Amino acid sequence: MKPLRLLTLAVFAAATLPRLAHRGMFVDGVTYASIARNLAQGQGSFWAPFYTATIYPRFHEHPPLGFWLQSLWFRVLGDHLFVERLYAVTIGLATAGLLAAIYRQLHIDAATEESTADRHGDRSGGLDRMPVSPRSQSSVGRSPSAVGEEALGWLPVILWIAAPVVSWAIVGNLLETTVALFTTIALAAAVKAGARSDRVQGLLGAATAWSVLSGSCIVGAGLTKGPVGLFPLAAPALFLLLPDRRRARRLLAVQWLTVILWALLLWGWSPARISLHEYFSQQVMPALAGEREVSQSSFTIVRAWLQGVVAPMFAAGILAVATAGRFVMPSRGVRARALVLFLVGLAGTLPILASAKQAGHYLVPAVPLFALAAALVLGPTATIAGQRISAQRSRTLMNIVIVLLFFGTIAGSLAPVLGRDRERLAEIDAIAAVVPLGQTVGLCPESNSDWGLHAWFERRFRVSLDAGDTPHTWFLDTRRARGSCAPANCTAATDPRRPMVLMRCRRAD
């Protein structure tokens, strides 16, 4: 399986690094990085983050935890454009590692369940043995847990990164990547709390601790992006579909109690209560009422799920079946776990339909659940496919693909054509030497809705752009507004022939 693990690493690198290597970034990611940097430099506070002096001086469009976590990186590494990129890719790698760990634990639980059924002489409620070809007995016939731990940890990771929305969120520094880390930790802790292995089975205190961790991470997800991070609360209830209902009930009680206690603590703390009330009144309620950005369709999230999550994973499954030459049905216990994970993933997807504001990247926290479910279903088939790839000719072809991916990653990182906002960044570079750091600069009202302009000037120069009537020492003239409202007492301080001109204004006597 080594070539497949290397292939997974190569695919992750190819999907993220070329775009992360360039300065351009989605406007939301630039905004979030600016807020985090400002927090690191003492502007704003945890419960009242600061964006610009003119646009959201108290930012309550999202809860604050994600900004604060990223601000820690700015405190340590300083104010550099690579900081938010390093943060985002590290969060992505951590999520990938958790996926592999959860997959192994699920196989360990399945193997323990099978062993318990064998000892009691009852095969009806346990796992069916994984069918393998005679050629695979040496590497696969040991136990399902050995297969999961030693061979197939790469499978849910490559299915996860195959969803384009995942890499798009990582390179865009979107809050959903941090939410996905929290929700995946919550799932991992829930799986550990309900683990059937003998080592964990007798540790009631350990199971309770895992349940508390799961509930706390759900709160962390909610404090990063709001209600969309609460869906792992459904996991313990769905675990009741599995044979060991006693552990599921205990997990449900402790996890939910943990979330309730955190909610009471936050509600009882005045700064937290005020901040979260502002968030719900400014963002959540208007979105539910259709008063914020409205999607083109009420089923945008379903279409994005089918096209951006289901379709890539289904294509990967077809490829695995074609390589293996057949589809191998997983055992009953594994199928049950796959169903539970799929249902938890739906719990993180379908509630978004209640909002008129929908976007594909809202799916990112739920994608790990779908990847794990698909990996459990495809596991036996992928095992046989991996054995066929291990043949010398196939391995050589696989190595060529891996090398090409790595070289493509390097080439993409150096190719300027992949950079986002190239023209805008070129214009900003042209005036960078003159821009007054940390000041407020005038702006035409026609340009005030250009959120990317606000984001980049705050991120690069800590400059707030003001389209109001207050006179300022500096004024920014853009192509769209050229000549429409530039004050008469302002003269160009940068090349007036360029689309973006910074002007210096004389004080009126």
More confident of the two residues 463 and 506: 463
Look at residue 126 and tell me if it is in a domain: no
Per-residue confidence band for 196, with pLDDT thresholds at 50, 70 and 90:
low
Closest to 8 measured CA to CA, from 100, 86, 145:
100
Which residue type, as a one-letter code, is found at position 293? E
**Phi and psi (nearest 5°) for 240?**
-65, -15
* Domain annotation covers residue 318: yes
Would you say residue 229 has pLDDT above 50? yes
| Structure confidence at residue 480 (pLDDT) | 55
Q: What mean pLDDT comes out for the span 435-441?
A: 94
CA distance 313 to 25: 27
Q: What is the pLDDT of residue 344?
A: 94
Judge if 380 and 426 occupy the same domain: no
Mean pLDDT across 167-186: 96
* 29 and 164 both lie in a single domain: yes
> Are 222 and 356 members of one domain?
yes
Domain span at residue 361 reads: 2-118+132-412
According to DSSP, the residues that pair with 49 across neighbouring strands are 44
- How sure is the predictor about 481, in pLDDT bands with cuts at 50, 70 and 90? low
Same domain, yes or no: 294 and 183: yes
What does the pLDDT average to over 290-296? 70
Q: Token match 């941090």: residue?
A: 178
| Residue 177 shares a structural domain with residue 272 | yes
Residue at 123 is within a domain: no
- The answer on 438 and 395 residing in a single domain is no
405 lies in a domain?
Answer: yes
pLDDT band of 204, cuts 50, 70, 90 = low
Q: Are residues 306 and 333 in the same domain?
A: yes
Strand, helix or coil for residue 462? coil
pLDDT at residue 125 is higher than 90:
no
Residue 25's pLDDT band (boundaries 50, 70, 90)? very high
> What's the pLDDT score for residue 120?
53
Given a contact cutoff of 8 angstroms between Cβ atoms, the answer to whether 178 and 91 are in contact is yes
Burial of 119 (0-12, 13-18, 19+ CB in 10 A): exposed
Other CB atoms closer than 10 Å to residue 156's CB: what's the count? 30
pTM to 2 decimals? 0.89
Residue 127 lies in a domain: no
pLDDT given at position 419: 75
Q: What pLDDT score was predicted for residue 318?
A: 94
Q: What pLDDT score does 146 carry? A: 41
| Whether residue 432 sits in one domain with residue 376 | no
Distance CA 384, CA 62 (A): 46
**Does residue 125 belong to any structural domain of this protein?**
no
Sequential DSSP letters for 148-192 = HHHT-THHHHHHHHTSHHHHHHHHTT-HHHHHHHHHHHHHHHHHH
Domain count, the chain: 2
Give per-residue pLDDT as tens, 29-48.
999 999 999 999 999 999 99
pLDDT of residue 434: 95
Q: Look at residues 412, 442, 471 and tell me which one is the last residue of a structural domain.
A: 412
Q: Are residues 312 and 205 in the same domain?
A: yes
Residue 471 lies in a domain: yes
Distance CA 298, CA 338 (A): 28
Half-sphere exposure of 73 (CA within 13 A, CB side): 20
Answer whether residue 377 is part of any domain.
Answer: yes
pLDDT (average), residues 237-243: 79
pLDDT of residue 476: 93
Largest alpha-carbon pair distance within the chain? Answer: 97
With bands split at pLDDT 50, 70 and 90, how would you rate the model's confidence at 354?
confident
380, 412, 444: which is the final residue of a domain?
412
Residues 430 and 299 in one domain: no
Check whether 144 has a pLDDT greater than 50.
no
Q: At what angle do helices 367-389 and 2-20 cross, to 10 degrees?
A: 130
For residues 232 and 105, membership in a common domain is answered with: yes
Residue range 115-120: average pLDDT? 55
> How long a stretch of residues is the chain?
509
Q: What value does the mean pLDDT take over residues 330-355?
A: 89
Note the pLDDT of residue 251: 84
Q: What is the pLDDT confidence band of residue 400, given thresholds at 50, 70 and 90?
A: confident
Residues 76 and 225 placed together within one structural domain of the fold = yes
Strands 440-443 and 48-49: unpaired
pLDDT at 442 over 70: yes
Quickly state the pLDDT bin for 149 (edges 50, 70, 90).
very low
- Which of 372, 393, 412 terminates a domain? The answer is 412
Helix ranges, 23-77 (H): 27-40, 65-77
CA–chain centroid gap for 25, Å, is: 15
Least confidently predicted of 42-46, 79-83, 419-423: 419-423
Tokens 């409202």 -> residue: 485
